[in-house]
Amino acid sequence: MFDFFKKKEVKKDITLDYSSIQVDMHSHVLPGIDDGAKNPEESIVLIKKMMRLGIKKIIATPHIMADYYKNNEETIGNALNILKAELKRQQIDIEVEAAAEHYFDETLEGRINNHTLMTMGDNYVLFELSFISRPKNIFEIIKKMKDLGYKPILAHPERYSYMDIAQLKAIRESGCDLQLNTISLTGYYGKDAKKTAENLVDNQLIDFMSSDMHHPRHAEAFENSLRMPYVEKLLKDYPLKNIMLR
Ligand SMILES: [Fe+2]
């Protein structure tokens, strides 16, 4: 039944928006603290685009990475305050919250043990893996998060080229939700990520979809995603959990 989507990928006019999912829960729109928006002006450009495309609430997720982005509750809270002040000044009415995208490095386990992970909704934790190789202890860490009451969400599973669909399925079956980057379905990250994204959709393995927006090129791709039949399927007929974060 999904062959239709595989064979016939006609780029359509944009006739729908993201209002059915309401919440975008993975983005780098907080100003000046990671590789996303550099300043509040850039944040506003990205946020206005999301609003135009039907997003009602944004959960910003700055990187927390021991080597590059040493963010914590304080740096992220400060950036959120700066952004909120600018939104207010410009009279832009949108709900923005902050959590984080936790990188799976040697410091992650410590943050789990100390209960200092930044969460969204009902204790959901967004985390990402290395793009080079799979951490050996991934199942152990997922279990630890769950044992301590966290609900792990793996960011952009389609982008880890070292994992096939069976491995991703095993991760999900261990109790970890999977978050697709919407723009993967346009081929933004290459053919392989696109193929894997499509397979994940076909196999009903996606729990959340979001923009992972860093800059205006992502914003443009997020708009163009609305032309893709796979994105239409996700928005119209798929058990996504984004709305639970409203
Ligand atoms: Fe991200």
Q: Separation of 193 CA from ligand 1 center, angstroms? A: 15
pLDDT tens across 210-228, in order? 999 999 999 999 999 999 9
Give the pLDDT confidence score for residue 51 in this predicted structure.
98
- pLDDT at residue 67 is higher than 90: no
CA of 1 to the centre of ligand 1 (A): 32
pLDDT at residue 10 is higher than 70:
no
| CA of 92 relative to ligand 1 center, distance in Å | 24
pLDDT tier for residue 4 given thresholds of 50, 70 and 90: low
What domains, with CATH codes, occur in the chain?
3-245 (3.20.20.140)
Residue 141 DSSP SS3: helix
With a CB cutoff of 8 Å and minimum separation 6, the contacts of 215 are 36, 37, 42, 46
pLDDT at 11 over 90: no
Ligand 1 centroid to 43 CA: how many Å? 15
Cα angle vertex 179, ends 240, 29, to 5°? 105
CB 87 within 8 A of CB 50: no
Span from the CA of 139 to the centroid of ligand 1 (angstroms): 21
Distance 213 CA to ligand 1 centre (A): 7
Specify whether the CB–CB gap between 111 and 141 falls below 8 A: no
Distance, CA of 189 to CA of 236 (rounded, Å)? 24
How far apart CA 115 and CA 148 sit, in angstroms, is 8
Q: How many whole angstroms from 158 Cα to the centroid of ligand 1?
A: 13
Could you tell me what percent of the chain has a pLDDT over 90?
Answer: 93
Mean pLDDT of the chain, nearest integer: 95
Q: Give residue 126 CA to ligand 1 midpoint distance, Å.
A: 9
14 neighbors 22 (Cβ within 8 angstroms)? no
> What local confidence, expressed as pLDDT, does residue 13 receive?
87
Report yes or no: 122 and 153 within 8 Å, Cβ to Cβ.
Answer: no
C-alpha 7 – ligand 1 centre gap (Å):
30
Lookup result for tokens 């070292």: 162
More confident residue, 235 or 8: 235
Report pLDDT digits (tens) over 157-208.
999 999 999 999 999 999 999 999 999 999 999 999 999 999 999 999 999 9
- How crowded is residue 123: how many other Cβ atoms within 10 Å of its Cβ? 13
Distance of CA 145 from the midpoint of ligand 1 (Å): 20
Ligand 1 centroid vs 28 CA: distance in angstroms?
6
180 alpha carbon – ligand 1 mean position (Å)? 11
Rg, the chain, Cα only: 17
Looking at residue 9, its pLDDT comes to: 63
Max CA separation in the chain (angstroms): 50
Cα 3 to averaged position of ligand 1 atoms, centre (Å): 30
Distance 4 CA to ligand 1 centre (A): 31
**pLDDT above 60: residue 3:** no
Dist. CA 159 → ligand 1 center (Å)? 11
Per residue in 78-97, pLDDT (tens digit) is 999 999 999 999 999 999 99
In this structure, what is the dihedral angle of CA atoms 199, 205, 209, 215, given to the nearest 10 degrees?
Answer: -50
- For 24, 27, 77, 95, 108, the CA distances from 80, given in Å and listed in that order, are 16, 13, 5, 11, 23
Q: Strand pairing of 57-60 and 177-181?
A: unpaired
pLDDT tops 80 at residue 2: no
